[in-house]
Amino acid sequence: MISIHVQILLIILFWNSDCQIIPRIEECGLSCSQGIHCKSKPSSGIFNSFCHDAPATLSSMVLKSMKISTVMKCVQGSPCSLHLNIKGTLSLDENIRGLEICSLSLDTQQSQCTNVRFARKKSKMLNGKKVQVQFNCIEVNVAQHIYVTMKTVPNYCEVKLSQEYYVEAGKFDYNVDRARKIISVNVSNFLRDQDYYVRLCHKWFTCEDAGAFAVIKGKEPLKSVSLKYSQLLPCLCIEGWLAIPDARRIQLCPFENGKYCVLWDNIVYNPVTQTLAWEPACPVLVMVNLCRLMKSNDHCEDIQNSSKNSPEKVRAMQI
């Protein structure tokens, strides 16, 4: 009796999602540390778009450590909205009157800019001191791809901070009912008034449908769906996205380590040619070899020169 021994060496699939709970705020605003008085006003970004040579005394490290996160503004009686929470550290200098903070949506190319100004007299008194600026009034959408910049006013060349940021797109929790072949999916961290799509898919070059997608209504209290599957495979993934055009999708592939997976259903024996053929249902890198099952000890001994590495399929292995 002959069988095929398959060893899964490596599966690389990615899931990138922030699983932290989004902090809530009741109102947005601007704050500055070190007792510095500061105020903000909307800016078009045009007048500060061209940079000037920085004075010789001005360090290029006058701006440092910009950090971006997401907060959820929730006012009683109104729908919640997401905002960027932007923190930056500035070393005060007599050549700097303020900061300009801008966000550019890489999905829609729309930008928002804000000017932050300091009280000039106190700024001069605290020359060289570090002040932390926090601004959280830039409204964003779920799963939005954002490019954030922080520049000095006046805009000095080479004195700039920039960072790309993905707004949270939801968090998956799941449970597998193997007897009924159902995966129950719970979704959190998305706005209450937005619908959300969830589906199962097989991850190849793209994620191919493995059944119909389900809709989670934003206004429904229960944010869960049950999805039917045919086989547990390493490439079986849960995919979710907001019900808006061109929404960013997130994926969770919980079976990528091969646990509970079925890889043997595609073995075919041809009695005429006396060959075995195996084609994986998923893109896995495998080592395949023939072995002979010994009745004496139930041990399957490898057949010499029958091993083969394959990223896709193994066909017509001669017996």
Q: Name the amino acid, one letter, at 107.
A: D
Cβ-defined contacts of 174-178 (< 8 Å, 24+): 174/238, 174/252, 174/254, 176/232, 176/254, 176/260, 178/232, 178/260
Residue pLDDT, tens place only, 251-295: 888 887 766 666 666 677 778 877 777 776 676 666 777 788 887
For residue 154, whether the previous peptide bond is cis, meaning omega lies within 30 degrees of 0, is yes
The predicted pLDDT at position 173 comes to: 81
Which positions ≥6 away from 159 have C-beta within 8 Å? 54, 58, 60, 62, 63, 151, 152
d(CA 203, CA 286): 17
d(CA 23, CA 25): 7
Query: Is 9 buried (19+), middle (13-18) or exposed (0-12) by CB count in 10 A?
Result: exposed
Give the model confidence (pLDDT) of 56-92 as tens digits. Answer: 888 878 898 899 999 888 887 777 788 999 999 998 8
CA distance 62 to 159: 7
**Under 8 Å between Cβ of 146 and 104:** yes
Mean pLDDT of 219-238: 84
Taking the C-alpha atoms of residue 115 and residue 121, their distance in angstroms, rounded to an integer, is: 18
- The CA angle 285-291-296, to the nearest 5 degrees, is 145
Q: What is the mean pLDDT of the chain?
A: 78
Q: What is the pLDDT of residue 14?
A: 24
pTM score, whole prediction = 0.58
CA 44 – CA 115 distance, rounded (Å): 9
Write phi, then psi, for 124 (nearest 5 degrees): -70, -40
Torsion angles phi and psi, residue 208, rounded to 5: -90, 145
Closest CA to 188 of 173, 178, 198: 173
